[in-house]
Structure 1
Amino acid sequence: MFAIYIDDLSHFFDRGGSVLYIVFFIAFFLWGLLIDRFVYLYFTFKKQRKEILQNVKTNSYDQKFIQEIQTHIVEDIRLQLNDGLDFIKTLIIVCPLVGLLGTVTGMIEVFDVMAIIGNGDVKSMANGVSMATIPTMAGMVIALSGILFEKKLETTINYQIDKLDLEISKVI
C-alpha cells in the first residue's frame, strides 16, 4: 500500500518537471521553520517565561529604572520570538514565484514539442501543459497554507509578548 503512494508521488513529480523538486525543497524548508517556531513558542518559551518572571520577582530594581528594565526584557523576548519570521515570510513569497518558473519551463516544453512535430497535436503537448500547471498549483498551495500558519504564529507571538509585558508589570 505504501508503494502505491510512492509510485503516485513519483508520477506527480515526473509530470511536474524539475521545478517541482525546487518547490518541494522550499516547502520542506518552510514547514521545518514553521514547526521549529511553534515548538519554541509552545514549549521552550513557556519555560523561559517562568524563569523571567521568577527572576523579576526575586530581584529588587531601583524604581527609576523599572520601566526601562521592563521594556528591555520584553523587547529581548520579542526579538527571540520573531527570530526567523521574516525568512518564513520570504519563503512564502518565493513559493508561487518558483511555481511560475515551472509554468515558463512547461510552456517552453510545449513550444519545443510544437517545433519538433510541426503541428498542434494535443497529445504530444499534454506533457508540457502538465509541466506548466503542476508547479504553479503546488507553489500556490504551499504559499496559501504557509500564510495561514505564519499569521497564526505571528498572532500568537504578539499575544504572548503582550501577556508577558502585563505579567512583568504586575510583578514589578
Structure 2
Amino acid sequence: MEFLETIRDFTETGGQVLLVIGFLIFVMWLLILERVLYTFIGHRQFKKECIAQWNARSDKSSWYAEQIRQKVISQLTMRFSQSIPVIQALVALCPLLGLMGTVTGMIEVFDSMAMLGSGNARAMASGVSKATIPTMAGMVGALSGVFASTWLARKAKVEKTHIEDVISLDHEG
C-alpha cells in the first residue's frame, strides 16, 4: 500500500506525462525481456530445427538450394530480431516524452508567475519539479533501453553471421 502511495506522490510531483513515460518504459522492458528469453530459450530450438532441415537436403549446391538457404537465414534473422525495431522506437520516444513533460511543467511555472507574480517561490517550485522529473524519467528509461536494445541488435547480427557460416559450411562440403 505504501508503495502505491509513493508512486502516486511521484506522479503528482512530475505530472501526468510521468504516467505515459512509465507505461512506455513498462512496455519497452516487457518486449526486451521477451526477446532475452527468446534468445536464450526459444531461438536455440528453432535454429536446431532449421539446421537439421538444411542438413536433411540432398541438394545443397543448385540455385534452388541457395534460395532455400537464403530463406532459412532470413527466417532465423527475422524471428530473432522481431521486436528490436519497436524497442528502438520506444527508446527514442522516452526522451521526447520527457521533453513534453518539461514543456508542460514550464507552462505551469509561467502560469503561476502570471497569476501570483514572480515572488511566489513555492508555486514556481511545483512547476519546476513538474518540468525536471519527467525529463529525468524519460532519460533514465531511454538509457536503460539503449543498452538492452544495442545488446539485442548486436546479438542478432552475430547470430545471423553464425547461421550463415554454419549453413555455408554445409553448403560447401
Structure 1 residue 10 corresponds to structure 2 residue 14: no
Cα deviation, residue 62, structure 1: 5.1
After superposition, the CA RMSD in angstroms is 1.5
Cα deviation, residue 105, structure 1: 0.6
Q: Structure 2-normalised TM-score?
A: 0.91
Cα deviation, residue 143, structure 1: 0.5
Mean CA deviation greater in 65-74 or 37-46: 65-74
Structure 2 Cα separation of the partners of residues 129 and 138 of structure 1: 14
Extract unaligned runs of 5+ from structure 1: none
Structure 2 Cα separation of the partners of residues 119 and 100 of structure 1: 24
Mean CA deviation greater in 133-142 or 67-76: 67-76
Q: Which residue in 2 is equivalent to 1:54?
A: 52
Q: Which residue in 2 is equivalent to 1:167?
A: 166
Is the Cα contact below 8 Å between 1:103 and 1:135 reproduced in 2?
yes
Seq. identity, %: 35
Task: Within 5 Å, give how 1:1-172 maps onto structure 2.
Answer: 3-61=1-59, 63-65=61-63, 66-172=65-171
What SS does the aligned partner of 2:118 have?
Answer: coil
Is the Cα contact below 8 Å between 1:53 and 1:171 reproduced in 2?
no
Q: Structure 1-normalised TM-score?
A: 0.91
| Matched letter for residue 17 of structure 2 | V
Is the Cα contact below 8 Å between 1:88 and 1:150 reproduced in 2?
yes
What SS does the aligned partner of 1:63 have?
Answer: coil
Extract unaligned runs of 5+ from structure 2: none
